Amino acid sequence: MKSKRRTFLAILLVFLAFFLSGCWDRVEIEDRGYILALGVDKYDPSDLNKYESSEYIDLDRKTQKFSSEQQKPDIKTDQKGIDPQTKRKVKPPLPSSKNEYKFAVTVLFPNLRTIGKDSKPDEQMRFLFVTSTNNVVGVRNYLEREINKRLYYGYLKVVVLGRDLVEEPGYVREVLDGLNREGDIPQNTFLLVSETTARDVLNTMPLVQPVTGIHLFEISKNASIYGRIIDTPLSEVVNNFINSNCAVISRVEPGIETLKVSGAAVFKNFRFVGWLDEKQLQVYKLLMGKAKHTFIDDLKYKSTHVPFITTEIQTKKKIKSEKGRLKIVYNLRIEGEVIEFVFKSGYKVLDDPMRKYIQNELNNIIKKRANELIYLLKYRYNADVLGIGDFISKRRAKDWKKLKKNWDDELKKIDIEVIPDVRLRRSGTIY
């Protein structure tokens, strides 16, 4: 009887050890620093001169919204890049003979105290730190020596790559590898490429949403609604590089109090090869079947613009042989509506011949833009971001064995035809 009781007590103690141990590794919410945005630039000591210029200091003050009493005549940072007046790190530390840095990493996380009941109106809304390092993700280990917060990547919204960095394919590979391996970083974190530096982007405080990471994340989420931007989550970019060594990543333009996500950067073999503007990106999304809605405002009838918004898009791609050469044919079935014309003009948009005119003109516009985009990608960038090689390998495996050895040259020989078929369904409602 005693042995049974002892066995029962032993099992009970083991059970309690598992279920009553509590969260031994928990960290209180106010002790964490939730990184929402990460910026990565190529470390360049000569670039530091820019951050000492009066133009940059003026811009910096505007974006940080210092009051007139707080404005100081000059900002002189110390060797660690810290402004003694604001205690804010505005630039990486200067290089020394003992270290050779690769990256200048900018980390942004919000000040949680500002959303509490006892928050003060003049309290800084967010924290921005810049540090030099040879690894990107591990930078938090260095920052935690200076910040009394446990930094956490679990809510990371965006990673911004600087313009200089994307010129270096080796650096891009290192950054992607680090981001992909780090278990805390969500795979739906959006990647963006800055027209200047990532630091400039994160140093901007947008008017509507002052926390830059959330601001850029919400714009990127709207990509499915507004056809002229594209969402580029980390997982998709990594898969594109694995499958075709090419990728398209959204572009962000820093301003004084605005950040504009517009167009995209094209990569081949992890190197930046050129930009796509908004209209080129619009057609790229159509060909890739990623466009849910598209807005075309180039069409004119006499002196009046006729804006057209799509409501349904179907993209079908097929491959065929013509005169011994492969040809890729895109069939685009697009339905939509004209949302504006001229009040009491006498024209009925949905009646022939007006309907035919609009449909034919829209077909011409889309076909012309598609041909320009294909020429750009084939001959100037020589980047297979449309996934032509991947498509041939799945449909024509024998042909692909011959083509893949010299795919860069063979891509230029592939005929690509785009056949748009626009159907005008509605013209809004006039009461």
Q: How sure is the predictor about 51, in pLDDT bands with cuts at 50, 70 and 90?
A: low
Across the chain, mean pLDDT equals 81
Token match 């960290």: residue? 27
Q: Encode pLDDT of 316-341 as tens digits.
A: 999 998 888 899 999 999 998 887 77
The type of residue at 3 is S
Is residue 246 within 8 A of residue 266, CB to CB? The reply is yes
Q: How sure is the predictor about 84, in pLDDT bands with cuts at 50, 70 and 90?
A: low
CA diameter of the chain = 101
Helix pair 234-244, 388-395: axis angle to 10 deg: 60
Q: How sure is the predictor about 235, in pLDDT bands with cuts at 50, 70 and 90?
A: very high
Nearest to 39 by CA among 126, 149, 141, 156: 156
Q: How sure is the predictor about 66, in pLDDT bands with cuts at 50, 70 and 90?
A: very low
DSSP per-residue codes, 370-392:
HHHHHHIIIIIS---TT-HHHHH
> Exposed e or buried b for every residue in 151-188, given b needs 16+ CB within 10 A?
bebebbbbbbbbbbbbebeebbebbbebbeeeeebeee
Mean pLDDT of 70-99: 54
What secondary structure letter does DSSP report for 94?
P
Query: 74 or 353: whose pLDDT is higher?
Result: 353
d(CA 282, CA 365): 12
d(CA 240, CA 315): 20
User: What pLDDT does 221 receive?
Assistant: 80
Task: Choose from 64-68, 296-300, 403-407, 427-431 the range with maximum mean pLDDT.
Answer: 403-407
Is residue 389 within 8 A of residue 404, CB to CB? The reply is yes
CA 325, 326, 330, 331 dihedral sign is positive
d(CA 161, CA 138): 17
d(CA 46, CA 315): 48
Residue 162 has pLDDT above 90, yes or no: yes
User: What pLDDT does 69 receive?
Assistant: 44
Q: Encode pLDDT of 282-294 as tens digits.
A: 999 999 988 888 8
DSSP per-residue codes, 28-88:
-GGGEEE--EEEEEE--GGGGGGGGSHHHHHHHHHHHT--TTT--S-----TTSB-TTT--
Token match 């057209």: residue? 308
The structure tokens listed for 199 are 């630091």
Which percentage of the chain shows pLDDT scores above 90? Answer: 38
346-353 long-range Cβ contacts below 8 angstroms, 24+ apart: 347/301, 349/306, 349/424, 349/427, 350/424, 350/426, 350/427
Query: 42 or 83: whose pLDDT is higher?
Result: 42
Q: Encode pLDDT of 215-231 as tens digits.
A: 888 888 877 666 778 88
Nearest to 298 by CA among 348, 250, 225, 368: 368
Pair type for strands 295-296 and 308-322: antiparallel
Helix segments in 272-331, DSSP class H: 278-288
User: What pLDDT does 370 receive?
Assistant: 95
User: What pLDDT does 329 receive?
Assistant: 96
Q: Strands (DSSP E) along 69-149, which ranges?
A: 103-110, 126-133
Q: Encode pLDDT of 360-399 as tens digits.
A: 999 999 999 999 999 999 999 999 999 999 999 999 999 9
d(CA 292, CA 15): 53
User: What pLDDT does 322 receive?
Assistant: 83
Q: Encode pLDDT of 245-265 as tens digits.
A: 899 999 998 877 788 888 999
Pair type for strands 150-152 and 37-42: unpaired
